[in-house]
Chains A and B, each alone.
Chain A
Amino acid sequence: DSGVTQTPKHLITATGQRVTLRCSPRSGDLSVYWYQQSLDQGLQFLIQYYNGEERAKGNILERFSAQQFPDLHSELNLSSLELGDSALYFCASSVSGSSYEQYFGPGTRLTVT
């Protein structure tokens, strides 16, 4: 158990819908990262937050957005969902914005039908 929690574990929704994935980092960690893992694309970095501020942006679509709240939990919002958005979404946390050791949560499996 990494100490990072993600909810929900599974999510099934229809195309065009909007969902919110939630992540709570390890106690004391200030940085949160979001990743998407699909069979055809592998693991892709989406975005990083550090202490509430956006720190780095990867291959995140405009239909997706994220934020980190004052209590350091983070949410990833996915809208206008498409079949291709079906994937495993991981959240990870680290102590600081430049820490090299990240701790991954168990992931949220999103299925878009």
Chain B
Amino acid sequence: GQNIDQPTEMTATEGAIVQINCTYQTSGFNGLFWYQQHAGEAPTFLSYNVLDGLEEKGRFSSFLSRSKGYSYLLLKELQMKDSASYLCAVRDYGQNFVFGPGTRLSVLP
């Protein structure tokens, strides 16, 4: 079956670093995506990993280990505006997107 797991909620302090983990079991693997979604808004694309390793994009980095079915999103120098839900998604061999339940991140002053 298709399954993606993420922590439901996380809390961190402004200026800190937070790591959001994602584990997956899907029918094949054709890329892993991270999206940010503020309450009441549409998701916005953050990162894409298809090969093992770390992809860095400003304050955001994403890591992938295909052999472990594991990814994480690293957010540095947290800002209040980073309070949002973070969605992990995998594209399988059928080009189907499978989304995790999302991690709600609260950044406190």
Please report whether the interface of chain A is mostly helix, strand, loop or mixed according to DSSP: strand
Which residues from chain B contact A44 at a C-beta distance below 8 Å?
A: 99
Q: Counting CB contacts under 8 A, is A45 at the interface?
A: yes
Task: Tell me if B45 and A45 are in contact (CB < 8 A).
Answer: no
Q: Which of A48, A90, A102, A103 contacts B95 (CB 8 A)?
A: A48
Query: Which residues from chain B sit less than 8 Å from chain A, CB to CB?
Result: 31, 33, 41-45, 48, 50, 87, 89, 94-102
Task: Tell me if A102 and B99 are in contact (CB < 8 A).
Answer: no
Task: Tell me if B95 and A104 are in contact (CB < 8 A).
Answer: no
Task: Tell me if A104 and B44 are in contact (CB < 8 A).
Answer: yes
Which residues from chain A contact B97 at a C-beta distance below 8 Å?
A: 33, 45, 58
Q: Which of B41, B42, B44, B102 contacts A42 (CB 8 A)?
A: B102
Q: Counting CB contacts under 8 A, is A55 at the interface?
A: yes
Bound: A88/B89 CA distance, A: 18
Query: Which residues from chain A sit less than 8 Å from chain B, CB to CB?
Result: 2, 33, 42-45, 48, 55-58, 90, 100-107
Task: Tell me if B99 and A42 are in contact (CB < 8 A).
Answer: yes
Task: Tell me if A90 and B33 are in contact (CB < 8 A).
Answer: no
B105 to chain A minimum Cβ distance, whole angstroms, is 16
6 contacts between A and B (CB under 8 A): A43-B102, A45-B98, A55-B95, A100-B31, A104-B42, A107-B42
Task: Tell me if A43 and B43 are in contact (CB < 8 A).
Answer: yes
State whether A43 and B99 are in contact (beta carbons under 8 Å apart), knowing that A100-B31, A100-B33 are contacts in the complex.
Answer: yes
Q: Which of A2, A58, A90 has the largest number of chain B CB atoms within 10 A?
A: A58
Shortest beta-carbon contacts, A-B, top 7: A56-B95, A104-B42, A45-B97, A100-B48, A43-B99, A58-B96, A101-B45
Bound: A2/B97 CA distance, A: 20
Which residues from chain A contact B33 at a C-beta distance below 8 Å?
A: 100
Q: Which of B33, B42, B48 has the largest number of chain A CB atoms within 10 A?
A: B42
Which residues from chain A contact B45 at a C-beta distance below 8 Å?
A: 100-103
State whether A56 and B96 are in contact (beta carbons under 8 Å apart), knowing that A43-B87, A101-B48 are contacts in the complex.
Answer: yes
Chain A residue with Cβ nearest B32? A100
Which residues from chain A contact B43 at a C-beta distance below 8 Å?
A: 43, 90, 104
Task: Tell me if B42 and A105 are in contact (CB < 8 A).
Answer: yes
